[in-house]
Structure 1
Amino acid sequence: MEGLLLGIDLCDDYSQISCFRPLDMEPEPVALGDDTSSGLIPTVICKKKGEDAWYIGEEAYRLALFGGGTMVDKLVKLVRKEGYATIEGVRYMAEDLLRIYLEKILELPKKKYGTEEIESLVFTVQDLEGHFLDKLIQVAESCKVARDTVHVLSHTESFIYYVISQKKDVWANQTCLLDLTEDGLHYYEMRVIRGRKPQVIEAEHEKLEESFSLDVLDTPAGEHLADTILTACADRLFKKKIISSVFLTGKGFMTSDWAPEFLKVACNRRKVFAGQHLFANGAAYVAFDLLQEDTAYPYICICEGRIRSTVSLYAVYGGRKEQVVLASAGSNWYEAKSSVEFIVDDTAMLDLTVAPVGSQRVEKVSISLDELPARPNKTTKIEVIVSFSDERCMTVRVVDKGFGELFPATGKVIRRDFFIS
């Protein structure tokens, strides 16, 4: 394994990049310039006036501050809303600006480790929205990263993989994360449901209403106010829970000296870890694991970005009735597209079974086949295509494939959308 194994945490304020090192079996943060203290790379880009020269991060800030160029920030949000920026009379689409930014940060590990090859690249972002994911993968491809090497996780899932890559006593019980950024205060909670095979890991994310601007940390009075808010959050969130560990990340936790009362609550019979690159490191662990023959994570993960139910149907194969799985619980919804062909045998309905993980309750969803051309029994072949627009929204397409030359395919498509548990 000679190529780079990268995890990139892409956010509107700062981005971070980690490279998994197989010799050490650990991710290593990659910084911009000589500042290795945090590895936070501002997600901004600046074009130098009159030149086709682009700068990112703190260099972009400095160039714009002294009037040497035009800066564009919040690149992720700009891509999400399909925006653009006009610089020196030229319109640049958001994805073009993101491409330049991504090319620049990908140069960092290439230069550091002396290789151009990217063997596995895993992005992690706050929210998984289908159109944005399409754009992000297209941008990665335009940076000459092969499509089949690119994957995208939610922050919640990256948190899971980071935590379960640590020693087991760290996540023996529930594990929590507070991420304090310019965007606000985000809370994550993870628990392992034991007694099942494979084991199930559940994690949830919540953006807390109790938040504050990081600017308040510039004054002693503001620090006290922030500490009070954070302590109240901890009292509420940790109450009556058996929590093994608490993780603190985000620019707001570059130092925690301003929050002594909060730390008293957090450290009460719990391990507390503070640092950056948590999400990027989690993505880097996955970048390595995806290339292994056997995963180091034999769990079903239920969280943002993962399907919560197994979707299947029953069909006769070789004279026996068998269950055909179309989507498995714990699968990445963005990548969980399946296609299976069947011959219709004496039925006018397609019945799918939806089984939520960890539940005895089974739902059934049915699709009428009456819209297909009328033919004799066993002379209609159909293709059933299942895809998802998020972890709970499933689309099923039934395509008429006909039956050879006797009954040519019409291409008729029956589409149904379902909300699943």
Structure 2
Amino acid sequence: MEGVYLGVEISMGGAYCKAAYYDPEKKVTKVVYFDDQEYQIPMSIGKIKGKSEWYIGREITKLPRTKVSVIDHLPVFMKGRDKVSIDGEKHSGEELMRIYMVKFLTHVIKVLGKDGIIRLTFCMESVDAALADQLVRISEGLGITRKAVQVINYKEAFLFFCLAKDPKYRRNECMLFELTNYGLFFYEFVMLRGRRPQPVIVNMIQLEKKFDVALLKKPLIQKTMDEKFLEHAKKYFNKKLISSVFLEGEGFKDSSWCKKFKEYICKGRKVYQIEAIYAEGAAANSWIQNDDQYLYLCEGRVPATVSMNVIKQQGAQENELQLVLVKAGTNWYDTRSTIELLLEDSQEIELKVEIFGRRLSNTYKIACPKVENRPIKTTRVELNIAFLSDDYLMIRIKDLGFGELFPSTGLETKEYIRLT
């Protein structure tokens, strides 16, 4: 099967979907263009009253308005709603998202002339666990295995976008300015030298709040914003070695209004205008996955390594070793760790948490379920670690018993740890 490494971007506010793919032969990411060189499909879904067929995106504009029921900005509209009534029938958010994504992904595959999807990465402004769960289930329904699906945020997408570029683009720092109706966002990509694995860091700052980009057609607004953007650039570029600067968003589609800003950022640097940078970054993630030579550090990535000391028996010998349960830099949504342990005489498990950049580690003692009348080394437990966000984890310890001699009590304990 000739498949594709695909990235899908859900735009801020859930207005559009964009797609990009990674070309392993040319080692580049490419944006998927649809009819008339359009690269974004509105996240709208609708149907003609009394009919069963569904339509998405610009298909809806071709239908008679008086006979169509439509939902725009689908992810935002459905958030917090259990079901919505369309043409007299109740539909859940997941059902509508499934209809939209199946049609969208099917169209993408058709445009690319591929047979299917090898790996798929969705990206959104900030990973919403409920929406991420829906997207994973929808993907599995299309025959894409759970291991082949990831959900990341914009910061992670920018990180992988930069890593997928030729090294000449990122010899020094990379910067991104994104201007939309939601504001001006500034991203900074930094690779720290001399460490293995090599830390790769992305920071983001919102420089301007919500702004109507249509106002940039007015000369007075153009002059004011050009000067303001120039101030931002001077502040955040000061004394930094920068290889590449990327401009993204509808505010930069016609960038003739910001001449002073562009003149400054172009001095000694390469500047590129990008149409779907997060979709390209998601596609790069589908190809790169987790590369052990890098340590990914940004919002959405676990900032700490979690480990414990265990005794491993090899024949007659017992050796103490450190068992890593969670590695720093992994995607929090995908991070799960489950292990079975045989307790000695202790009624608690000690975990070591080492946060990147801090010299001292923290030790947490987690109580095990209380079981009585068990001799030493006859209590088996399951230790499970799951993350609820990138810096908040849940630890669950469950009694598994010891075969027929001591059946499981089913008891369990839970504890929550905030890393930062």
Normalised TM-score (structure 1): 0.91
Distance 2:80 2:204 in 1: 23
Name the structure 2 match of 1:397: 396
**1:337 is the counterpart of 2:336:** yes
Question: Cα gap change, 1:27/1:175 in structure 2, threshold over 3 Å: closer, same or farther?
Answer: closer
SS in 2 for 1:203: strand
Question: Cα gap change, 1:98/1:32 in structure 2, threshold over 3 Å: closer, same or farther?
Answer: farther
| 1:296-333 CA distance string (max 9 Å, x none) | 67201011221111100001112111111110111111
Name the structure 1 match of 2:72: 73
Distance 1:333 1:18 in 2: 23
Name the structure 1 match of 2:260: 261
Distance 1:228 1:60 in 2: 41
Name the structure 1 match of 2:34: 32
- Structure 2: where are the runs of 5+ without partners? none
Amino acid at match of 1:17: A
Question: Cα gap change, 1:89/1:13 in structure 2, threshold over 3 Å: closer, same or farther?
Answer: same
Distance 1:138 1:372 in 2: 38
Q: Is the 8 A contact 2:2 2:115 kept in 1?
A: no
Q: Is the 8 A contact 1:159 1:279 kept in 2?
A: yes
**1:90 is the counterpart of 2:89:** yes
Name the structure 2 match of 1:47: 47
Residue 221 of structure 1: how far off its partner (Å): 3.3
Name the structure 1 match of 2:22: 20
| 1:381-403 CA distance string (max 9 Å, x none) | 11111110111001111111111
Residue 135 of structure 1: how far off its partner (Å): 1.8
| 1:90-146 CA distance string (max 9 Å, x none) | 232222222222122212232123344222111111101222211221233344433
Distance 1:144 1:258 in 2: 47
Distance 1:84 1:205 in 2: 35
Question: Cα gap change, 1:126/1:229 in structure 2, threshold over 3 Å: closer, same or farther?
Answer: same
Distance 2:60 2:231 in 1: 38
Residue 84 of structure 1: how far off its partner (Å): 4.2
Name the structure 2 match of 1:133: 132
Q: Is the 8 A contact 1:8 1:17 kept in 2?
A: yes
Distance 1:297 1:184 in 2: 35
Amino acid at match of 2:258: A
| 1:43-97 CA distance string (max 9 Å, x none) | 2223234323333223334547x44523211112234434544322223222222
TM alignment of 1:283-302, pairs within 5 A = 283-290=282-289, 298-302=293-297
Question: Cα gap change, 1:47/1:217 in structure 2, threshold over 3 Å: closer, same or farther?
Answer: farther
Normalised TM-score (structure 2): 0.91
Question: Cα gap change, 1:2/1:57 in structure 2, threshold over 3 Å: closer, same or farther?
Answer: same
Q: Which moved more, 1:315-324 or 1:92-101?
A: 92-101
Amino acid at match of 1:353: K
Residue 352 of structure 1: how far off its partner (Å): 0.3
Question: Cα gap change, 1:373/1:34 in structure 2, threshold over 3 Å: closer, same or farther?
Answer: farther
Distance 1:47 1:265 in 2: 49
Amino acid at match of 1:302: L
Q: Is the 8 A contact 1:338 1:385 kept in 2?
A: yes
**1:189 is the counterpart of 2:184:** no
Question: Cα gap change, 1:68/1:324 in structure 2, threshold over 3 Å: closer, same or farther?
Answer: same
SS in 2 for 1:389: strand
Amino acid at match of 2:151: V
Residue 230 of structure 1: how far off its partner (Å): 2.5
TM alignment of 1:207-286, pairs within 5 A = 207-286=206-285
Residue 40 of structure 1: how far off its partner (Å): 2.1
Distance 1:126 1:83 in 2: 22
Identity in percent: 31
- Structure 1: where are the runs of 5+ without partners? none
Question: Cα gap change, 1:182/1:104 in structure 2, threshold over 3 Å: closer, same or farther?
Answer: farther
